Amino acid sequence: MKTITVQHYDAFSTIPNKGNPAGVVVEGHQYSENEMQQIAKKVGFNETAFALNSDKADIRIRYFTPGHEVDLCGHATMATIYALQTQGRLGNKTSITIETKAGVLPIRLEEKEDKLYITMQHATPQFEDFNGSRAALAQSIGLNEDELHAELPIVYGSTGLWTLLIPVQDLASFEKMSPQTATFPSILKEMPTASLHPFCLQALDETADMHARHFSSPHSGTIQDIVTGTASGVMGAYYAKYIDSEGTYPKTLIVEQGQELGKDGRVHVHVNKVDNNLDIAITGTAVYVKDLKVQI
């Protein structure tokens, strides 16, 4: 039996227990893949991240839900980079690269008003059609079909991790959402393991541009994500492709998430168009909460 120290950080907030919790293991090289999975299951957060040495980048990060490994996780990246930088493990660099299963991604670090802000480049946006039942999809998150946006398309999107982007007409629908997680794979016939990401163009905070929730695939072993970095990134790409395709870029969108769960997260999504190609990055921060002890 091993006892492992996992550091609990909350991402996309500067206030403990208000952002999205992630487990961070700063010396992940000590553990096998099987042990990483066991640790993540014991911790129980949506993701636990393990920092490793890399021969392709400054560091390598692996991400595990309680159920399986994922290619990329925005909030756990924020937490891991914040932990490494504030513990002096990055040599106070202002830019680094990270190796992930979604590719090698650049990270920028900026100290501003005694806070550390982390900007994370995302993988090239991809979209795929959703051809399933809109009615069944709405029902799977506790809504009626007429609460979905009548004009905007429902599509799978990825900037490193696939999710189904579901535009919803009104902010009022979000409070009553209730995910029937077990039904997701049968509805998502094209990508049965994708998560669901309902969002709308109204927000509680007048400084925010979009509001969202995020419901996990049943394969992940969790129900929902409080504040989602990767899905916020692909929301920015969706905005530029389907909502404001003729707009002026670059621009930064503020996504709010977590309010229905008593949290209050913000993700700054940077969207640029270069020769009709979309370039996506997100900025956030994190805060240390406490050390957790788990046994495997």
Annotated catalytic residues are 47
Q: Which residues have a Cβ under 8 Å from the Cβ of 22 and sit 6 or more positions away?
A: 8, 9, 10, 11, 45, 46, 47, 48, 49, 73, 75, 76, 78, 79, 80, 286
CA–chain centroid gap for 93, Å, is 24
Give the residue from 199, 166, 195 showing the smallest Cα distance to 181.
Answer: 195
Q: Which residues on neighbouring strands pair with residue 47, listed in sequence order? A: none
40 close to 47: Cβ distance less than 8 angstroms: yes
Tokens linked to 230: 């990767």
208 close to 255: Cβ distance less than 8 angstroms: yes
Q: Which residues have a Cβ under 8 Å from the Cβ of 34 and sit 6 or more positions away?
A: none
Sign of CA dihedral 233, 141, 223, 259: positive
For 81, phi then psi, to 5°, come to -65, -40
What's the CA dihedral at 222, 224, 227, 229 to 10 degrees? Answer: 70
Residue 5, judged by CB atoms within 10 A of its CB (0-12, 13-18, 19+), counts as exposed
